[in-house]
Amino acid sequence: MEKEKPIGVFDSGVGGLTVVKRLISALPNESIVYFGDTARVPYGSKSNDTVIEYSIQNTKFLLQKNVKTVVVACNTASSIAIDVLKKQFDIPIIGMIEPGSISAISNTRNKKIGVIGTRATINNHAYRNQLHKIDESLIVFEKACPLFVPLAEEGWVDHKATYEIADEYLKELKQSDIDTLILGCTHYPILSKVIQEVIGKNVKLIDSGVASSEIVRTEIERIGLATNSSARGNISLYVSDISTNFKSIAELFLGQSVSEIIKVDIENF
């Protein structure tokens, strides 16, 4: 039965589990197959060609797991590869950029929106272009915050060093009068306490994972692919490399304990 197939999710590594956490809240009865490309992370500093090649491989892997839809949890892969994936694969593919942008637009009052993400996401202006596609009059401020990724993976969710780095990264955005800030990277929701304190409580933080989970829910209902099950869905985790601390980081990001993690050879599965 098509409806009972799992939802596929991929990310460059462990960060996409923040999106899985949101998907579980929005769709508790759906099963999820997650692939984290931990052997080839980070994507945020790689060329567009490489990110596209990896994204195609990851999608093929998920399709082999018989998924009914693919969620590109990685903002970098969403920024660079989403159009190629949508063209190449005959299955609904949902990224982070469009849902995050729509959510930001519905929240802003002064039409000044900030975006933070990896270097690749920011250099490709993925969010800015998407925001302007919807509303040309928006004023968009962008800032790459690459050090937030290792800080989140270190679990430094309110460490002094995280505040110092956030102060440095966010200082121009703070002066730009934005009222909405898109967390355009899988890892940033982990640091939302620090980011909120540094940017100020009047700025609304947008978690693209929350926004995309809502889109996944409405989309699978619209096309008749929502599960009929009333039991909790299964979560299967696949990665391309299992590092020593993967389990603990995975649990921090997912917000629940993890029992089994399966390693796959993503180039020869």
Residues designated catalytic: 74, 185
Cα 165 off chain centre by = 22
Query: Quick check: 142 binds ligand DGL (CB under 6 A)?
Result: no
Helix (H, G, I), strand (E, B) or coil at 257: coil
CA atoms of 72 and 59, how far apart (whole Å): 9
Q: Which of residues 159-188 bind ligand DGL (CB under 6 A)?
A: 185-187
Q: Which residue is nearest to ligand DGL (CB)?
A: 44
Nearer to ligand DGL, 44 or 99 (CB): 44
35 interacts with ligand DGL by CB under 6 A: no
What are the phi and psi torsion angles at 144 (to 5°)? -80, 135
Contact residue for ligand DGL among 6, 9, 10, 12 (CB under 6 A): 12
* Contact assessment for residue 22 and residue 15, using Cβ atoms and an 8 Å cutoff: no
Length of the chain: 269
- Is the four-CA dihedral 25, 36, 118, 154 of positive or negative sign? positive
| Least distance (Å) between residue 253 CB and ligand DGL | 11
Kindly state the smallest distance separating residue 74's Cβ from ligand DGL, in Å.
4
Helix (H, G, I), strand (E, B) or coil at 154: coil
| Residues 119, 192 contacting (CB under 8 angstroms) | no
Q: Kindly state whether residue 76 participates in binding ligand DGL, applying the rule CB under 6 A.
A: yes
User: Counting contacts by CB under 6 A, is residue 75 touching ligand DGL?
Assistant: yes
**Residue 95 found at the interface with ligand DGL (CB under 6 A):** no
The residue from 55, 121, 180, 212 that contacts ligand DGL (CB under 6 A) is 121
> What 3-state class would DSSP assign to 268?
coil
Instruction: Supply the minimum distance, in Å, between the C-beta of residue 118 and ligand DGL.
Output: 4
Beta strand segments in the chain, E? 7-11, 32-36, 69-72, 93-94, 112-117, 139-144, 180-184, 204-207, 235-239, 261-263
Is 130 among the residues that bind ligand DGL (CB under 6 A)?
A: no
Nearest approach, Cβ of residue 172 and ligand DGL (Å): 21
Q: Does the footprint of ligand DGL cover residue 240 (CB under 6 A)?
A: no
Q: What is the DSSP secondary-structure string of 192-210?
A: HHHHHHHH-TTSEEEEHHH
Which of 41, 190, 203, 239 touches ligand DGL by CB under 6 A? 41
Q: Tell whether residue 100 is a contact of ligand DGL (CB under 6 A).
A: no
CB-wise, 14 or 173, nearer to ligand DGL? 14
Which spans of this chain sit near ligand DGL (rule: CB under 6 A)?
A: 11-13, 15, 41-44, 74-76, 117-118, 121, 149, 185-187
